Structure 1
Amino acid sequence: MSALTRPRFTLGDAIAGVSVAFVLIPQSLAYAEIAGVPAYVGLYAAALPPLAAAFFASSPYLQTGPVAMTALLTFGALKGLGAEPGTTEYVALAALLALVVGVVRTVIGLARGGFLAYLMSQPVLIGFTSAAAILITSSQIPTAVGVAPPDGKILEKLWWTITHMADWDPTAVVLSVATIALVVGGRKVHRLFPGVLVAVVVGIAYSALTEYDGLTVGDVPAGLPPFSLDLPWGSLPSLLVSGAVIALIGFAEAAAISRTFAAQDRTSWSPDREFVSQGVANLA
């Protein structure tokens, strides 16, 4: 790289990093809710892991952070262990599960097991991703219309929401529709339109100016949590299989992105390094 082109690339990387950060903040809050942990935990997952992963990553296109599929798999893995979502016990189990995922990925990478990224076929990955999208959408509809259905399975909550339309909050419905319109419609206007960022800014402004009394994220503690390994280690055997599954399926999605862009730009990438990169991110 010449001295003349280096500043241009540096500025481009800086702009891309800031853009991703602004989009990652609201997404991490949403994915934390899907995983069953407090919203601020999503911010922690969006801050430290990318810094750790950057030292080992091989793909310039892959951004490390919370994703919907991993959040859904985390909720499914912890739901059967008896902990109530959002509680301190549940958060500790989620941290232990992330530790298991990190160890599995790091070991696979160090053992040069990156070839595993190619074993899951694209149709299977697409089907799994589509199913996850349907489940996530169904689980968030009650929140989108401003109701709190009784405890139950996702489909039971969805059916309760549909049959209790009289309880819907009109303001929540309008905000949800407007958010979808900004995110989806913005892409029709221009592929670089920051729909997620605009939707978040508009939503925050509306909530602050009108003193919106509906469901909100709530208070976010300042600073980082204290470092501690006081985790429920007795539950470790129950999380090993789930951790291995999340480690492989979650990485398959990231590998598909890396392979696609590497093929388009005729560049190489190392699945072994990416396994280590994502593993270190989970450990962080």
Structure 2
Amino acid sequence: MFASLRENFRGDLLAGITVMVVLVPQALAYAMLAGVPPVYGLYAATIPPLLYAFVGSSRFMAIGPVALMALMIASGLESLAEPGTPEWAELAVLLSFEVGVLFLLLGLVRAGFVVNFLGHPTILGFNAAAGLITVGSQLRAFLGIPREQLADLSATRPWPIVMHLGATHLPTLAVASGSLLALVLMRRYAARWPYYLIVCVAGILLAWGLNLPSHGVEVVGEVPRGLPMPKLPRFKIDTMVSLLPAALSILVVGYASSMTVVKALEAKARGTVEPNRELLAFGVVNLASGLFGSFPVSSGLARSTVVAQAGARTRMTGFIAALGVLFVLLVAGALFEWLPRAVLAAIVMLAASSLIDIRGVREVFRVKRADGVTAVLTFLATLGIGLEVGLFVGVIAALVFFVGRTMRPHTAELGRIPGTSVYRNVDRVEAAQTCPQAGLLRIDAPLYYANARFLEDRITTMMATHESMKLLALDFAAVSDMDATAVMSLEKLIEALRAGGSDLHIIGAIGPVRDLFVRSRLLELLGQDHLHRNLAEAAPKLVEAVERDYCEGTCRVSAFPSCTLIPRAALLREHGKAARFSPQI
């Protein structure tokens, strides 16, 4: 037992130190992206992960500041205050508190399913646009253009900066370019090194040794020691209402992206994650972040991957990493006062570049064109209108395409492969044979008000196309549900077919659908003898129901196994001898 505990602690200690080395530079950089003092990032990287170790369920959830969340914070606040002001910082704290409350509410009602509306194509398009916006938002710090020259610049509208490229500060550009180049090279050729920390330390030494602030290079400046005392933010109803769209967007994107990554990592390590417990845990850590004067937090893709690769055994990894950040706050914070902001801009740009997944968009287009269109629409709306609107457009586009597909569900006319009891789609299997009098139609979707008319038209067309068809059997094995409109539509269809001298059978309906038949008058109207468990049971009854004279005198196919028992005059004329129909024909 003690050996196991010692082994776990050793693994968690090494992983925790590794994560801390990544977390400190990211926390400083993402705080700058969110428009708050860099030290706020260290606050967000301390208390939230400490608490998560006790309330969360995944060892790979690396709670702390995240680039995408930081950008969404800036987007949500830009119409309410000026970045870098005390009012902006107060709003960021209030936003964290509001996000925490929403997470707790969803967790209490076990509503983790809400993030399922955020599909992969929507996330792809949103992330790509957010990545470009994030890169653009760091251009001022990267180029060293004075803030007073960029009054028309906002976090999510950074493009006017191209009008001020002539004001680029060359020493700042040199520091930023060198930092970005070093980060890219080390990520490519020395990925196991703590390249974020290495570049930060190099930047600090360079700024101190060359006295870069005296040459106009901005640095982080004073970093207060220790943690602030916890206190409640000032609550204003109108302000909280204004922050609600941003809070909801942060909740959905933060939770969905975190869970997607962590579920994959846990599955690979044969672990589990509890979605509803994570909702409560995210609520607790965001409330704590707000109480300690910081902004909303989530779990970053890069950090979660680092946690997994570093060999984390338990949730103590995050706890140890947070203790390391706390040590920086208490003891080593003064060292980061010399850190150039251009270095932080380079870190943010590198992190943002990973959000742009062109290969993923291309793959989505190849698999399903409608999903590719959803990704592109989300990208354009996010880039051109705003983060919250872009996210909404992506969700709506995905729903519209989904509803469009369900309005015209896939159906297949089935035929038997000669010599077998296997029935296949006649459009895909040329050898499949259909009965001229008894049609088989498979329906591959739930039936509801939006596609009930489509099914009526499909059946009517099929009956009209096959003039000799006297009955139709619907394969319901893939129909998982029906609403009242679909049930009533089917009832009317049965009545119409029988009034015209035809009939309808249903095959393979699952239990919940059969229950609907019982509760409505459909089963009574259809008749128990017209409801079959499977095709093997239905086939002999369908053969019995068709006109025998047509089978014996005209038919040349064997659409059902029992057709082989029927003597065929047509085959007698063709072969010049009495014969029973061969099952191979």
Q: Shared topology, TM-score over 0.5? A: yes
Counterpart of 2:76 in structure 1 is 77
Deviation at 1:27, TM superposition (A): 1.2
Checking the alignment, whether the CA contact within 8 Å between 2:150 and 2:161 is kept in structure 1 is: no
Q: Name 1:238's counterpart in structure 2.
A: 242
Rate the CA distance shift 1:257–1:161 in 2: closer, same or farther, 3 A.
Answer: farther
Contact kept, 8 Å, 2:94 with 2:233, in 1: the verdict is: no
- Range moving further from structure 2, 72-81 or 186-195: 186-195
Q: Give the letter aligned to residue 209 of structure 2.
A: L
**1:249 and 2:216 are equivalent in the alignment:** no
Paired with 1:80 and 1:155, the residues of 2 have a C-alpha distance of: 15
What letter is aligned with 1:54? Answer: A
- Tell me the SS of whatever aligns to 1:55: helix
User: 2:228 aligned with 1:220, yes or no?
Assistant: no
Deviation at 1:156, TM superposition (A): 4.0
Q: What is the TM-score normalised by the length of structure 2?
A: 0.46
Partner residue of 1:158 out of 149, 154, 161: 161
Identity of aligned residues (%): 34
| Cα shift readout 1:86-120 (whole Å, capped 9, x = no counterpart) | 22222111111111100111221222122234332
- The TM-score with structure 1 as length reference comes to 0.92
Equivalent residue, structure 1, for 2:111: 113
Aligned residues: 279
Higher mean C-alpha displacement, 152-161 vs 66-75 = 152-161
Cα separation, 2, equivalents of 1:190 and 1:5: 32
CA–CA distance in structure 2, aligned partners of residues 188 and 130 of structure 1:
21
Cα-to-partner distance string for 1:58-77 (whole Å, 9 max, x where unaligned): 11111000111111111111
Q: What's 1:276 paired with?
A: 280
Residue correspondence of structure 1 range 54-133 to structure 2 within 5 A: 54-81=53-80, 83-133=81-131
Whichever residue aligns with residue 30 of structure 1, its letter is A
Report the Cα distance in structure 2 between the residues aligned to 1:108 and 1:230, rounded to whole angstroms: 22
SS at match of 2:45: helix
Q: Secondary structure at the match of 1:221?
A: coil
Counterpart CA distance in 2 for 1:78 and 1:239 is 8
Residue 263 of structure 1 deviates from its aligned partner by 2.7
Structure-2 separation of matches of 1:230 and 1:111: 25
Moved more, 225-234 or 238-247: 225-234
Whole-angstrom distance in 2 between the partners of 1:245 and 1:187 = 31
| Residues in 2 aligned to 1:156 and 1:129: alpha-carbon distance in whole angstroms | 18
Cα deviation, residue 196, structure 1: 0.6
Tell me the amino acid that sits aligned with residue 202 of structure 2.
V
**Cα deviation per residue 1:216-274 (whole Å; 9 max; x = unaligned)?**
11111122223322414241222223212211111111111112212322322111111
What's the RMSD between the two structures over aligned residues? 1.8
Distance 1:181 1:9 in 2: 37
CA distance in 1, matches of 2:115, 2:8: 30
Which has the larger displacement, 92-101 or 182-191?
Answer: 182-191
Matched, 1:262 2:266: yes
- Residue deviations 1:120-152, cap 9 Å, x none? 212211221121111010110121121124211
CA 1:156/1:189 → structure 2, altered by over 3 Å: closer, same or farther? Answer: closer
Where is the strand percentage greater, Structure 1 or Structure 2? 2
Q: CA deviation at 1:207?
A: 1.0
- 5+ residue gaps, structure 1, are none
Partners of 2:191 and 2:159 lie apart in 1 by 37
